[in-house]
A = this chain, B = another copy of it.
Amino acid sequence: GGAGPARAAEAPEVTWRLTSSFPKSLDLLYGGAELFARQVGDITGGRFRIDVFPPGDIVPGLQALDAVQAGTVDACQTQLDYAYGKDPAFAIPTAFPFGMNAREQAAYALDGGGNDLTNALLADYGAIGYPAGNTGAQMGGFFRREIKTAGDLAGLRIRAGGLAGRVLQKLGAVPEQTARSEIVAALQGGTLDGVTWVGPYDDAKIDDTGKLQKAAPFYYYPGWWRGGSMIHVAFNKARHDALPEAFRAALRTAALSTHLQVQASYDAANPAALKRLVIAGAELRAFPQDLLEAAFKAAGDVYREISDVNPRFKSMLDAAMAFRADQYLWWQVSEYTFDNFMIRQRARG
């Protein structure tokens, strides 16, 4: 290779502020924001610096996208479904009940038109974004009592929001919003019967004293409302569009690299965390088949209700559903049968 003269004209210095929706204690998520910023800095030789702020430093975590739209910050790292209250369509790029697994979500976003639809939605909020991580399939969470049939959900107060909350409501449960710091006390006191959170690695951090497993020992799977949960970075679109082309490319490339690395971090960290949880008293339970089927049907009802009044939700959901059907057509062949054999061999020791 040869070396030539520098092209100084293309190298301004830019500093951005990025607010994360995730507290530092969720270190793989918050760490994803830091990793994204570090890569952008490194590949631009320090010319494009992104300072990362935890929720609360500039705006609360749930207001990250608002802050991007208002220009209070240049960028955010968030779950787009935190904007579910503005438009349920924001759930589609993050996760929807009985949606896709994490790899299928990435394929849909990058090669199935998904991220273009997401950016068409984000454009209405003055933003543009990319996938930047995935937790993988989440767990169903901790419950005080065993759930043996779908009917056992009746009257249960379960910490859950968005589309999952609406589906659970159709099954007779009561979705609750409970701050993380109050979860253990609420389960102990019986004002909460179950809590959905993330997956083993983050679930193990809700409480490290063993009180959580004592109050709610039954640890359910799968988290059918999040077969994968995608994280995004999003940028103020006007500021993004004003960047030099190389910096815009740096944002996209660093986001996708971050996506792979955050996913890898969760996949690598979850097994040991699952062991720790079980040693601390968590009893693994699969959701009963009739509950999954009732939830699948209820999800369809919720989707129809929202689609009837929200054409954007309908178009985004329909596109994702069509992709999902094709994905599982293929997934059931080699991916699933390979995993099936490996899991059975492992069980034999």
Contacts and interface: CB of A to CB of B under 8 A. Distances in A.
Residue of A9, A138, A268 with most chain B CB atoms under a 10 A cut-off: A268
A102 to B, nearest CB: 7
A182 interface: no
A159 to B, nearest CB: 18
Given A39-B249, A253-B42, A334-B138, A104 B267 contact: yes
Interface in A251-271: 252-254, 256-257, 259-261, 263-265, 267-271
Interface string A329-349: 111111111111111011100
Given A4-B12, A12-B4, A44-B43, A261 B330 contact: no
Given A44-B43, A102-B103, A343-B336, A326 B260 contact: no
Contacts of A245: 42, 45
A63 B108 CA distance: 35
Contact of A239 (B1, B222, B268): B1
A39 to B, nearest CB: 5
Interface stretch (A13-21, A76-84, A310-318): A13-21
Contacts of A65: none
Contacts of A14: 1-3
Nearest to A112: B268
Given A43-B250, A222-B337, 5 more contacts: A42-B245, A98-B345, A103-B267, A222-B335, A223-B334
17 contacts: A6-B12, A7-B47, A42-B246, A43-B250, A43-B253, A98-B345, A101-B339, A103-B267, A107-B264, A109-B264, A222-B338, A222-B341, A227-B338, A253-B254, A271-B327, A272-B326, A336-B339
A274 interface: yes
Interface in A170-213: 199-200
Interface residues of A, number: 102
A137 interface: yes
Contacts of A292: 341
Contact of A43 (B16, B249, B284): B249
Given A44-B43, A110-B260, A274-B329, A334 B199 contact: yes
A10 interface: yes
B267 A261 contact: no
A5 interface: yes
Interface in A18-62: 39, 42-47
Nearest to A44: B246
A152 interface: no
Contact of A106 (B98, B263, B330): B263
A108 B265 CA distance: 9
B45 A10 contact: yes
A16 B70 CA distance: 43
B342 A227 contact: yes
A125 interface: no
Contacts of A223: 334, 338
